[in-house]
Amino acid sequence: MKKWLACILVAGLICLGLLACEKKENSIQQEDQGEQLITVGFSQLGAESDWRSANTKSMKEAFSKENGYNLIFEDGQQKQSNQIMAIRTFIQQEVDYIVLAPVTETGWDTVLQEAKEAGIPVILVDRMVDTDNEDLFTCFVGSDFELEGKKATAWLKAYLEKKGIAPEEVNVVNIQGNLGATAQIGRSEGIRYAAAEYGWNLLDQKPGDFTQAKGKEVMEYFLKRYPELNVVYCENDNESFGAIEAIEEAGKKVGTDIQNGDIMVLSFDGVNGEALQYVIDQKIACIGECNPLHGPRVSDIIQSLECGIKPPKLSFVSEEIYVHDQTVKSVSVDGKEYSVTTMTEEVANKKAEQFGN
């Protein structure tokens, strides 16, 4: 193509983009006269954990009227059928965007096809869908859960090596999240990978549904069935709280000194002060951070789409590893170095403030 023609084309595209953004700016100004908001239907999967509460809070704060949105929020109460019903309602209401945190990865093609035929973009937040047709959703923003698992277990491997503990002495049980949830699939893969790679004994894996009550119940079973266990890998902090209750009620001790009978607890999330305090007290040896503040991230995606800018198909947030012990300063996973954050009162207060709890 002739250069001058290409320049005109590019100039035209830039003007179109600016016009689209101008339209956006105007619509927010218009909104001041209550004229035009972007309507977003958000199907949240439930309220099972502190992480979920922090995530819902972040989404509701981002999709406020002041920010130019009309949010329709539906709580799926851990049932896919409720979420599918919510999506169909959003379609009938002709929302501008659908945001979905899917409770499980499978079974979404039909309803996502309906949204596609209605011309409504679907943004996945936090959890992924298992589909052969990636055109059924616009993009995903959330965590890389397998990486979270590999980072936490890489820290444990480095720590145990420094303490002179042989891999064959490590007896791990895994309290999983809701089976079929992206966070569970990735984190469970993380411990399976670590046990195979490092030579640990992975004694058992059972779902704890990301809740404290179920986490306690599963831990009570594991303590009876596997007296030799010395590491418990929980797939979120609420499960860890339940596991620690069960361990202490059984007269055992959580800590980091497994040579003297401690049981080491690994966990994920780190969104409330109680969990971070457990790290400071070394009742939880390591937390793989899972950042819940997706509200601004999803809003930025919608603003890009409003300006005709295509977001990346997959966006993963970068996350830390929280420990109190300073034996291990960084870990290497798949050839990449990750620093370890030493959890102190000061760091914990700052983090808890960030999550409003």
210 contributes a contact to ligand GZL by CB under 6 A: yes
Site size for ligand GZL, by CB under 6 A? 14
Question: Shortest Cβ distance from residue 175 to ligand GZL (Å)?
Answer: 12
- Choosing from 236, 240, 256, 299, the residue that interacts with ligand GZL (CB under 6 A) is 236
Task: Note whether 191 binds ligand GZL by CB under 6 A.
Answer: no
Q: Which residues contact 266 (CB under 8 A, 6 or more apart)?
A: 152, 153, 156, 231, 232, 233, 234, 284, 285, 286, 287, 288
**Is 153 within 8 Å of 184 (Cβ atoms)?**
no
Position 148 contacts ligand GZL (CB under 6 A): no
Closer to ligand GZL by Cβ: residue 143 or 171:
143
User: What's the CA gap between 338 and 319, in Å, rounded?
Assistant: 9
Residue 146 touches ligand GZL, criterion: CB under 6 A: no
> Minimum distance from CB of 83 to ligand GZL (Å)?
14
Contact stretch for ligand GZL (CB under 6 A) within 34-42, 47-55, 168-176, 305-313: 47-55
Burial class (CB in 10 A: 0-12, 13-18, 19+), 176: buried
Q: CB neighbours (10 Å) of residue 165?
A: 16
Which helix (H) or strand (E) segment holds residue 78: the answer is: none
Does 56 bind ligand GZL (CB under 6 A)? Our answer is no
Q: CA 50, CA 48: separation in Å to the nearest integer?
A: 7
Per CB under 6 A, contacts with ligand GZL among 103-142 are 126-127, 142
In the window 257-276, what residues touch ligand GZL (CB under 6 A)?
A: 268-269
Q: Which of residues 298-357 bind ligand GZL (CB under 6 A)?
A: none
Q: CB of 43: closest distance to ligand GZL in angstroms?
A: 14
DSSP letter string, 171-236? EEEEEE-STT-HHHHHHHHHHHHHHHHHT-EEEEEEE-TT-HHHHHHHHHHHHHH-TT--EEEESS
**Tokens at residue 290, please?**
């899972």
Residue 188 found at the interface with ligand GZL (CB under 6 A): no
Give the pair of three-digit tokens for residue 347: 């760091």
- For the CB of residue 102, give the shortest distance to ligand GZL in the complex, in Å: 10
Residues 6+ apart with CB under 8 A from 351: 270, 271, 276
Q: Which of 290, 321, 340, 348 binds ligand GZL (CB under 6 A)?
A: 290
Residue number, 68 or 270, with CB nearest to ligand GZL = 270
**Contact set with ligand GZL (CB under 6 A):** 48-49, 51-52, 126-127, 142-143, 183, 210, 236, 268-269, 290
